[in-house]
């Protein structure tokens, strides 16, 4: 294997300074057709913390594992994580390569366009919660399950006869938890030396949360006291903590820690979404784009986009108080939409750009296209799995309505695309090609 054939996953911090008065990051942004509008103050540590908090594996996995244990039991939860993790790494590496070439706030939206023809506190809290729970629960557990039970016990309370189908349904817990690593792209224009820092942040964070999740899964499964009680409970996570620690106070404390970790993830997600909305509006791809693409003169933050997405989020979530089915559909549709969005830049690269994509400081070499292809195949497969009802037989109450919601969003998007969006895309592409 020659030097050119080897995978190049190193990041070179050296660069040639531009002859213009702009610094490196601002010049890079200008070369992509945009002006510098955010203050560059986000470090690698802040990037990792932002991503780690946004993904929030600790609360996301623990709050859902009790319900998912019906589909395959302990072995499905453990081996599902093992199966999903390599594909998540493929997506993360591919994403890191693209963001290194195109460090733009729009993330997958901007990458799709171009490839077609400091908050550290909540990091702290998530890490502290993980350490506290993982040290306390096994230390206080009255008994431990055997390794055979953890790695081979298979439970099927779904109604499906196919073992493979049950395993796929159980595997969704890993897929739901291992998402959100694109959030770093939404703050990339405020990141120092973004084409180096952002890909590093993604790779370090994804590696960290996979290991974190693996430890959480093992500690949890070995410490379960009564799986039948857990399955029957309306609040499995509370039951797990109570039986493992035999302490109502500790149970309440752990639940509060999970709440704060989830709140930190919510805050980061709101921030990332507002930046994404701003970037979307900046390219004229939203109704009233000229209004939402303005930053606050005082804070230099996308306040208009932030308020708009908060209002929309509240309106979307309100029906949840009347129907649990609606909430399940929203969650499934969200994960499907996120995964499809992850895959769109890779599809565009495979169809139109291939080896002609500009190389940033982080490059996968000739392995880039291979990982892009694997990522697209996995995302396509996983999106189908996400549409499968969790139990059988299927009734209106147990039906997975995610596909219907995705269809509604797709119809709105296509309608706006033909009315206005395509014209703005054509203008933006012409603008970028002139740079």
Q: Confirm if 138 and 219 have CB atoms less than 8 A apart.
A: yes
- Residue 142, CA atoms < 13 Å, CB-side half-sphere: 11
Round the average pLDDT of the chain to a whole number and report it. Answer: 82
Q: What confidence tier does 433 reach under pLDDT thresholds 50, 70, 90?
A: low
Q: What confidence tier does 424 reach under pLDDT thresholds 50, 70, 90?
A: low
Q: What confidence tier does 85 reach under pLDDT thresholds 50, 70, 90?
A: very high
For 77-96, what is the mean pLDDT?
92
Whether 260 shows a pLDDT value over 90: the answer reads no
Q: What is the pTM of this model?
A: 0.83
What percentage of residues in the chain have a pLDDT greater than 90?
A: 21
For 37-62, what is the mean pLDDT?
85
For the domain made up of 24-434, the CATH class stated in words is mainly alpha
Q: Confirm if 291 and 307 have CB atoms less than 8 A apart.
A: no
Whether 428 shows a pLDDT value over 80: the answer reads no
pLDDT in the model for residue 220? 92
CA pair distance 203, 58, nearest whole angstrom: 19
Whether 6 shows a pLDDT value over 60: the answer reads no
Neighbours of 409 (CB within 10 A): 12
Whether 371 shows a pLDDT value over 70: the answer reads yes
**52: which residues sit within 8 A by CB, 6+ positions away?**
123, 126, 127, 205, 208, 209
- The domain limits of the chain are 24-434
pLDDT higher for 433 or 246? 246
CA pair distance 45, 391, nearest whole angstrom: 42
Whether 86 shows a pLDDT value over 90: the answer reads yes
Give the least confident one: 208-212, 405-409, 429-433. 429-433
pLDDT in the model for residue 18? 43
Whether 22 shows a pLDDT value over 90: the answer reads no
pLDDT in the model for residue 427? 60
Residue among 129, 119, 100 nearest 54 (CA): 119
- Strand-pairing partners, residue 191, are 42
CA pair distance 368, 349, nearest whole angstrom: 10
Whether 93 shows a pLDDT value over 70: the answer reads yes
Residue among 327, 321, 325, 320 nearest 398 (CA): 325
């Amino acid at each position: 294997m020659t030097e050119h054939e080897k995978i190049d996953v190193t990041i070179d911090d050296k660069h040639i300074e531009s002859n213009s008065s702009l610094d490196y990051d601002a010049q890079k942004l200008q070369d992509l057709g945009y002006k510098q509008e955010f203050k560059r103050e986000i470090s690698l540590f802040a990037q990792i913390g932002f991503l780690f908090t946004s993904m929030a594996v600790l609360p996301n996995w623990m709050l859902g594992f009790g319900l998912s244990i019906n589909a395959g039991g302990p072995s499905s939860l453990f081996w599902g994580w093992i199966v999903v993790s390599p594909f998540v790494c493929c997506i993360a590496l591919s994403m890191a390569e693209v963001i290194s070439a195109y460090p733009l706030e729009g993330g997958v939206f901007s990458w799709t366009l171009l490839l077609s023809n400091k908050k550290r506190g909540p990091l702290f809290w998530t890490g502290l919660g993980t350490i506290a729970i993982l040290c306390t629960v096994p230390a206080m557990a009255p008994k431990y399950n055997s390794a055979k039970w953890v790695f081979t016990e298979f439970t099927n309370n779904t109604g499906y006869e196919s073992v493979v189908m049950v395993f796929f349904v159980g595997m969704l817990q890993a897929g739901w938890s291992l998402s959100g690593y694109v959030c770093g792209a939404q703050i990339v224009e405020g990141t120092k030396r973004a084409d180096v820092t952002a890909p590093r942040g993604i790779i370090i964070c994804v590696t960290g949360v996979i290991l974190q999740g693996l430890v959480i899964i093992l500690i949890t499964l070995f410490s379960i006291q009564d799986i039948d009680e857990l399955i029957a409970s309306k609040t499995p996570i509370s039951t797990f903590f109570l039986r493992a620690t035999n302490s109502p106070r500790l149970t309440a404390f752990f639940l509060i820690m999970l709440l704060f970790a989830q709140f930190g993830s919510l805050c980061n997600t709101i921030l990332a979404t507002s930046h994404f909305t701003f970037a979307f509006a900046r390219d004229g791809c939203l109704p009233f784009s000229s209004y939402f693409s303005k930053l606050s003169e005082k804070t230099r933050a996308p306040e208009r986009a932030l308020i708009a997405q908060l209002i929309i989020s509240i309106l979307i979530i309100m029906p949840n108080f009347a129907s649990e089915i609606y909430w399940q559909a929203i969650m499934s549709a969200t994960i499907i939409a996120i995964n499809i969005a992850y895959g769109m830049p890779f599809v565009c690269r495979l169809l139109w750009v291939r080896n002609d994509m500009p190389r940033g400081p982080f490059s996968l070499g000739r392995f880039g296209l291979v990982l892009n292809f694997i990522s697209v195949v996995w995302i396509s497969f996983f999106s189908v799995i996400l549409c499968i009802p969790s139990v059988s037989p299927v009734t209106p109450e147990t039906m997975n309505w995610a596909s219907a919601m995705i269809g509604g969003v797709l119809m709105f998007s296509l309608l706006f695309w033909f009315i206005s969006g395509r014209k703005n895309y054509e203008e933006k592409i012409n603008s970028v090609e002139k740079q």
